[in-house]
Structures are given as structure tokens and as C-alpha cells.
């Protein structure tokens, strides 16, 4: 009886040990011959757009996206993702014990396609505060089409393929010559203020304004109301920040640009010196509310959020680049002439729009051009 009991106990212990080992292995633990002990490991999941890109871990071809790489000892790994026809992506990725590190990568074309969106000329393009509408002036040389136009984007289609998003005229050169007007959007992106000489016309953005209203007598109060509306929206966003330090940073900053998903924001801070390069670093920072981290951004004349909230467009002299929101992986998308530093992204993050022209008799007029990102 005691012998059977002993065998039973031994069997239970053996099963328990096997089960414990299985659980440890399932959690990512493995035996390290170097350290002569069981150590915990981590996991990296890597996805890319487009997928089926080659994944190199510390210089070794390991797998292809989309994939999960398990049993990785905790440390920093050099992850490089490569696909023919696209700009390579590379970053140091930290792996922690028993944790899954998710890596989402967007690969941009090495040679983007550039094509015209308008043909009658474009002046003074102005993007609405919600980023979904573009107002611009078509010059007098376009005849009946001269005046002010609005192009509305849709959230799930490129503007050139969405029937409801075709550009529409909101003001003709009948009441006034709008060819030299400056434009300003209301805070709710429903109205456009067109200033012509000393006259200020308020235009509804969704229709043709046959008899536009001159609001010059109440211009100051109208602009003040728009500013208060914009300020109220920012205040609501800032009050929603739970971390008191980050909330103070956002409220005290002279500039704040929220990511479209409102999980990050760009603020201006005092520049500091990069000790390794001996050069001053940009005074703009990105704050990530989810990870509670801040990242310096490369210097540029303009920083614009891509609608995916994971990338930032850098506008420089005759160069347009895109970086990850942490300032890494700078990819040059366009190098060439474009007017007034004007760049804006489409809502699906698939394309950028610029104003440019070509030194030919038929293409010398500035027009909107699209640059494919996918």
C-alpha cells in the first residue's frame, strides 16, 4: 500500500513538474545555457502596410510581415523591415520579459507617383480646421470657373474617386473679384471668410453663394467668436488629460497641435543641445498620452500630422518628408519645387497634396498635385 502511495506521489509530482515547465514555456521562459538558469523571454508582433515585407532582427533575416517572433531574451533589438520598391524602415525595439511588443509599420514608396488634381490654376489654398475641406481660388484666366472653390474629403475614399467629394464652386466673380482674395475657415469648418480689398464676405462652404454677405461691420466680433470656439475645443481636450504634468505642459505651451485621434500632441519647448552631434535640437516635442513619453522632432519649417496619428509630415525647402511620431525613420517623399510650403494629407493617409507647376507652356500655371503614399 505504501509502495503504491509512493508511486502515486511521484507520478503527481512528475506531472506537476511537466505542467509547470509547460506553463513556463508558454509564458516565454527558456533555459539559458550562457546564464545556466531559466530566463524569461518576450514576444514581438510585427505588421506592415503593405505586408509580406522582410524582417531583419539584429541583421538576420528572421521572417516576413505579418508575423509573431517569440522566445526573445529581454533586450533592445535592431529591427529592419525591407520591401522592394519601398523605403526601408529601421528602429531599436525593446523586448521585456513576459510582454508582447507590438510593432506597426507603414512603408512608403521609394518612387511615389505624382499627378495633377486641378487644371485651371489654384491660388491661396486654405485647409479647414478639421482637415477635411480645402478652399482655394481659381484665377480670372479660368473664365466662368474663376472664383472660390471647396474640395471636401471623405474619410474612407481618396477625394479624386469620391463622387460626393468633387470640388464645387462657392463664389463667382460677379459680386467681387475673388481672384486675389485671402481665405479663412470658421472654427466649425462650415463657412469661409473671403477678404477682397476692404470687403469681407462670409460664404457657406456647402453651396454656391449667389449673394454673398459682406460682414465687414461685424468682422471683429465674428473673428473673435471663431477664436473663442477654437480655444474652447482645445480647452476641452486639455482638461481630458489625466496626467497633471502633461496637462500643465499642454495648457502652458505657446503652440499645440493635436493628433487626429487626440492621443498625442505637439508642443513648443526650449531647444536643447544634442551632445553627440553638437547641434541644437528642434524646440518641438511630441507627447504621447498613452505611454506618457515625449520625443523631440527634427527641425522643419512646418510639422503636420498624418491622419493615421502615427506619422508627422516635415515640410522643408523643396523637400517633404514623413517621420514616425517619435521623430525616427525620416523618409523623403518628395524633392522638388512646390509653392508656399503648402502641403496637406488626405483623410485616409494615402496621399499628399501640394501646389506646383512645370516649366512648359501648358503646365506653367500653379495647380494641385497629388503624391501617392501607398
Domain limit, last residue, from 221, 248, 279: 221
Q: Is 50 within the bounds of a domain?
A: yes
The three-state secondary structure class of 32 is strand
Whether 113 is in a domain gets the answer: no
From 106, 140, 163, give the residue that closes a domain.
106
Q: Between 11 and 345, name the one with better pLDDT.
A: 345
Q: What is the CATH number of the domain that holds 18?
A: 2.60.40
Q: What domain range is 81 assigned to?
A: 2-106
pLDDT given at position 1: 52
DSSP result, 129-195:
TTSSEEEEEEPGGGGGG-EEEEEE--SSS-TTT-GGGS-EEEEETTTS-GGG-EEEE-TTSSEEEEE
Using the 8-state DSSP alphabet, how is residue 86 labeled?
B
> Mind listing the pLDDT tens digit for each residue in 317-341?
889 999 999 999 999 999 988 887 7
Same-domain status, 368 and 236: yes
- Is residue 275 located within the same domain as residue 359? yes
Whether residue 363 is contained in a domain is answered as yes
pLDDT in tens, 125-183: 999 988 889 999 999 888 889 999 999 876 544 444 443 467 899 999 888 889 889 99
User: Quick one: pLDDT at residue 273?
Assistant: 52
Higher pLDDT, 63 or 24: 63
pTM: 0.82
Same domain, 248 and 345: yes
The reported pLDDT for the residue numbered 160 is: 43
Q: Is residue 78 part of a domain?
A: yes
Asked if pLDDT for residue 288 goes beyond 50, the answer is yes
Whether residue 135 sits in one domain with residue 86: no
**CA neighbor of 45 nearest in space, from 31, 28, 59, 30:** 28
Residue 318 and residue 211 share a domain: no
| Average confidence (pLDDT) over 258-268 | 91
CATH of the domain at 129: 2.20.25
Q: Is the peptide bond before 73 cis (omega within 30 degrees of 0)?
A: no
pLDDT of residue 35: 56
**What is the distance between the alpha carbons of residues 81 and 362, in angstroms, rounded to a whole number?**
42
Q: What is the pLDDT of residue 317?
A: 86
Residue finishing a domain among 49, 71, 106: 106
Residue 341 pLDDT: 78
pLDDT in tens, 193-245: 999 999 999 999 999 999 999 999 999 999 999 999 988 888 888 888 888 88
* Number of domains making up the chain: 3
Tens of pLDDT along 71-127?
888 899 999 999 999 999 999 999 988 889 999 999 999 999 999 999 989 999 999
| 362 and 278 inside one domain | yes
Does a structural domain hold residue 227?
A: no
Amino acid at each position: 500500500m505504501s509502495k503504491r502511495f509512493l508511486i502515486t506521489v511521484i507520478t503527481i509530482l512528475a506531472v506537476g513538474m511537466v505542467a509547470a515547465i509547460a506553463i513556463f514555456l508558454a509564458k516565454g521562459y527558456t533555459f539559458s545555457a550562457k546564464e545556466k538558469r531559466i530566463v524569461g523571454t518576450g514576444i514581438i508582433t510585427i505588421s506592415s502596410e503593405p505586408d509580406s515585407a522582410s524582417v531583419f532582427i539584429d541583421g538576420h533575416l528572421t521572417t516576413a510581415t505579418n508575423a509573431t517572433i517569440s522566445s526573445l531574451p529581454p533586450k533592445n533589438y535592431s529591427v529592419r523591415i525591407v520591401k522592394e520598391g519601398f523605403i526601408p524602415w529601421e528602429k531599436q525595439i525593446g523586448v521585456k520579459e513576459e510582454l508582447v511588443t507590438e510593432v506597426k509599420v507603414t512603408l512608403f514608396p521609394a518612387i511615389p507617383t505624382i499627378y495633377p488634381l486641378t487644371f485651371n490654376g489654384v491660388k491661396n489654398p486654405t485647409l479647414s480646421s478639421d482637415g477635411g475641406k480645402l478652399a482655394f481660388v481659381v484665377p480670372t484666366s479660368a473664365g466662368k470657373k474663376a472664383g472660390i472653390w471647396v474640395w471636401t474629403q471623405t474619410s474612407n475614399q481618396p477625394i479624386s474617386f469620391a463622387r460626393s467629394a468633387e470640388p464645387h464652386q462657392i463664389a463667382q466673380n460677379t459680386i467681387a473679384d475673388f481672384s486675389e482674395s485671402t481665405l479663412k475657415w470658421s472654427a466649425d469648418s462650415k463657412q469661409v471668410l473671403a477678404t477682397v480689398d476692404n470687403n469681407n464676405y462670409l460664404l457657406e462652404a456647402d453651396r454656391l453663394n449667389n449673394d454673398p454677405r459682406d460682414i465687414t461691420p461685424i468682422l471683429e466680433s465674428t473673428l473673435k467668436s471663431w477664436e473663442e470656439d477654437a480655444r474652447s475645443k482645445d480647452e476641452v481636450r486639455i482638461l481630458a488629460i489625466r496626467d497633471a504634468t502633461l496637462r500643465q505642459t499642454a495648457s502652458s505651451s505657446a503652440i499645440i497641435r493635436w493628433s487626429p485621434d487626440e492621443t498625442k500632441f505637439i508642443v513648443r519647448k526650449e531647444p536643447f543641445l544634442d551632445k553627440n552631434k553638437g547641434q541644437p535640437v528642434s524646440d518641438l516635442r511630441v507627447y504621447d498620452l498613452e505611454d506618457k513619453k515625449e520625443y523631440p522632432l527634427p527641425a522643419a519649417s512646418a510639422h503636420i500630422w498624418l491622419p493615421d496619428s502615427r506619422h508627422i509630415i516635415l515640410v522643408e525647402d523643396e523637400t517633404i518628408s514623413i517621420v514616425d511620431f517619435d521623430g525616427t525613420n525620416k523618409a523623403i517623399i518628395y524633392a522638388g519645387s512646390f509653392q508656399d510650403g503648402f502641403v496637406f494629407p488626405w483623410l485616409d493617409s494615402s496621399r499628399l497634396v501640394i501646389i506646383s507647376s512645370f516649366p512648359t507652356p501648358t503646365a506653367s500655371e500653379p495647380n494641385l498635385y497629388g503624391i501617392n503614399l501607398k
